[in-house]
Structure 1
């Protein structure tokens, strides 16, 4: 029913503006770009615009459009892959006539006139492909460019199909998408080729991380460290998964110092950590979340909360 309403609204409006979250990842760009491709191919007369700040490292996927304030008049706004209103990139999204939310994160912040939230989905890109399949016989079309974007989003949010969120449906959809003749090796190069300075920062992280008896690993990446290695805050996100391969690590936290805040990236191999993120201006998935700290003292509090989550997880699993 929800998907039918979304199609009805897309059919109704002549102008559609698609938003996603700040600091985009491949799923944010893949789902929004893939949806744009589907709408434009299926309804050639409609104006479909993507908005949000560009991340130069992801421009190989898709670029953003110029969106003027007047474009929002009588426009349908679709927000993809964004759980919280505060994290919507380009806060003009409220200026549209109606808002649709499509997401796979926990629906803590319920917004929009229509909401389609499926936390069992590996990614929002998976949901967009599911939307296409639902109405393919009614005329929806998927281009090669759209398939490339949706595949990139699924690959990115499943960690190349390694994360527990990967299901048989996820793999089936991926198999469908690779039938389109886009250049997969070139796509992987764009997503996973790592610059030399980022590789050197990886060495620094592997030399300086700590692991507690509870299975929590933490690393501080200060502004001085980033300056020394010549990396940006965005580039540090490429390395957040590396501590998950360390034996004995159940959960890990990256503390990345910005000018006015400390970015907190949390990951887990079992303990549920999004509650800790929610306590510190953040949120996300049970095993992949983010938060913000306003001092190094607050990061110590986050560490203590994560320690308790890991200890509880170990106790429960030992008893089981």
Structure 2
């Protein structure tokens, strides 16, 4: 591509400038490390400098900007103080989103961990363990948007006199029932969205927990078996306590992912029929209704909710080493 062609495309030209600038920073950093004094933490800091710069520009500054916007009006011009936060805890729609998010946070990690644990315990000693874990892990290869579309078809509704295209209503009709609008009727529709999330994440839990169960020392379980312990007692009193660190990692990872849930809700119901969550309400307020301040307040709240969980997860992983 010639320079004239590039010059006619400003976006491409800006991208090239950015790539060249970043490459120049990296080269200068490596040169400074190579020729500079190799004492203490100087070289490490120089090598980390480009990454820290990118994190500052791409994460820290936007975060501070969002925090500032949360105290301003919808146009981002007038200072309104804590009005956006007051709205968030008084508006029925925002309160519904908070309640639904709490429901997700309680149900999804619990169900994902339980399903993954039971599945892992069932297949970990099987000859077909690799195949079984591969099958349960397949949904993770699908994006949340793809999973939402799949389950939207599963719950699809048609009038009783029409041919059903949804698997669930097809089964209901086959057993003589009446088709239902599963994604419309609240509050059950939230539970059906949760099922889609559990389907995508159960494989993650199963693989991690199967790995943890497989490294439980066989001498301990064999000694318990010789002492007369039943398989159920061995599982609950020996295996489960020994894999507790992995269980904790799975639960915390699912809590973090669930608090930020957006794609499945957006794809399946678009937040309608009382299924909105914090992340989706943030999107609606900021981009659909033009209420930038309210969207920013919801984003800050989401950050505040996730941060303690992330900190606890990091601490738990360090203590497990």
Report the TM-score range of the alignment, normalised by the length of the smaller protein.
under 0.3
Q: Which has the larger radius of gyration?
A: 2
State the TM-score, normalizing by the size of structure 2: 0.24
- Greater percentage in helix: 2
- Greater percentage in strand: 1
Q: Say which structure, 1 or 2, has more relative contact order (CA 8 Å, 6+ apart).
A: 2
